[in-house]
Structure 1
Amino acid sequence: MNRHAARENAFQILFQLDMNDKQPEQAMKDYLETLEIDPFIHTLVEGVAANKQAVDDIIAAKLEHWSIERIASVERAVLRIAVYEIRWQEDVPVNVSINEAVELANVYGDDKSGKFVNGVLSKLTV
């Protein structure tokens, strides 16, 4: 599985975790319907879950006139993946994380999601 597909799966799983009270490992198994989980999906889901408060604090610090709770679930899940990658995954270039996040937001969010995600993430690199 390529990293783009893994990010998309991780997004779906993290979106579900935001809505349901499950452990990350169980959510991955339920969503993927397999015991074999792609290592990159596992890294993203477990990494975001383990560092959720720190990730949310980083996002919140870059928001203007918004709170993390007000962000739509799609954008919140996308931002969490990108922030985790940018801060904790040294093997992923920042511009790749941002581009992938904007693409996910454009696919799963509304017509303004990509611009919103890009705006928040661009403040991380300044």
Structure 2
Amino acid sequence: MINRRQVRETVLKAIYALQLGKDSTQHVADTIIKKADFTKEKDLRRFAEKLFFETIDHEEELDEVIVDHIKNWDINRLALIDRMILKMAICEFIYFEEIPTKVSINEAIELAKRYSTAKSGRFINGILDAALSDLNEKGRINKKGRGLIQKTLGNN
């Protein structure tokens, strides 16, 4: 059974291919996302395509959020994988109202543990916690349905 973590891994690979290759966004989507094992499951395919295209379409905005929280660092010095994982998670915070922010953070940490350095999980957790707090203060996090789980749990 394919799950959303595997979908996120595929999206991460697609974004990586787009960053390093010279192919168009649509070509990368067609060759990596649309040929993945989960494409027969409409919900998973839609999630993968939305995450891929939203992350790419809002890249500058997502980079700005990251820059605001990497004190004394140039964003170009971040490991490429870490930067892509951060963008995907922040994209989920802002543009996926049905996904709880806690899920996005946990998934980003797991991706970092698998695809990046030993210290990346803690680094990504710290940046995402700070970004989430800031985005919440600015009223940019709007969660509905399942996405409200974290708020409900936090109020108990």
Q: TM-score, normalised by structure 2?
A: 0.75
Which range moved further: 32-41 or 43-52? 32-41
Matches of 2:65 and 2:32 in 1, distance apart?
A: 28
**1:5-27 Cα deviation digits (max 9, x unpaired):** 11110011111112123322211
Equivalent in the alignment of 2:17 = 16
Q: Shift in Å at residue 114 of structure 1? A: 0.6
Matches of 1:65 and 1:18 in 2, distance apart?
A: 24
Q: TM-score, normalised by structure 1?
A: 0.92
Q: Shift in Å at residue 33 of structure 1? A: 6.4
Q: Shift in Å at residue 34 of structure 1? A: 2.8
Matches of 2:131 and 2:103 in 1, distance apart?
A: 14
2:109 to 96, 102, 105: 102
Equivalent in the alignment of 1:41 = 48
Matches of 2:29 and 2:55 in 1, distance apart?
A: 13
Matches of 1:124 and 1:8 in 2, distance apart?
A: 22
1:65 and 2:36 equivalent?
no
Q: Shift in Å at residue 2 of structure 1? A: 2.2
Which range moved further: 34-43 or 57-66? 34-43
Matches of 1:63 and 1:14 in 2, distance apart?
A: 21
Opposite residue 47 of structure 1, the aligned amino acid is E
Opposite residue 4 of structure 1, the aligned amino acid is R
Does the aligned pair in 2 maintain the 1:105–1:117 contact within 8 Å? yes
Equivalent in the alignment of 1:6 = 7
Secondary structure at 1:42's aligned position in 2?
helix
Does the aligned pair in 2 maintain the 1:24–1:45 contact within 8 Å? no
Unaligned runs of 5+ in 2: 134-156
Counterparts in 2 of 1:17 and 1:97: CA distance versus 1, 3 Å: same
**1:41-100 Cα deviation digits (max 9, x unpaired):** 100110011111001111111111112111111101101100100011111100000000
Equivalent in the alignment of 2:126 = 119
Identity %: 29
Does the aligned pair in 1 maintain the 2:33–2:48 contact within 8 Å? no
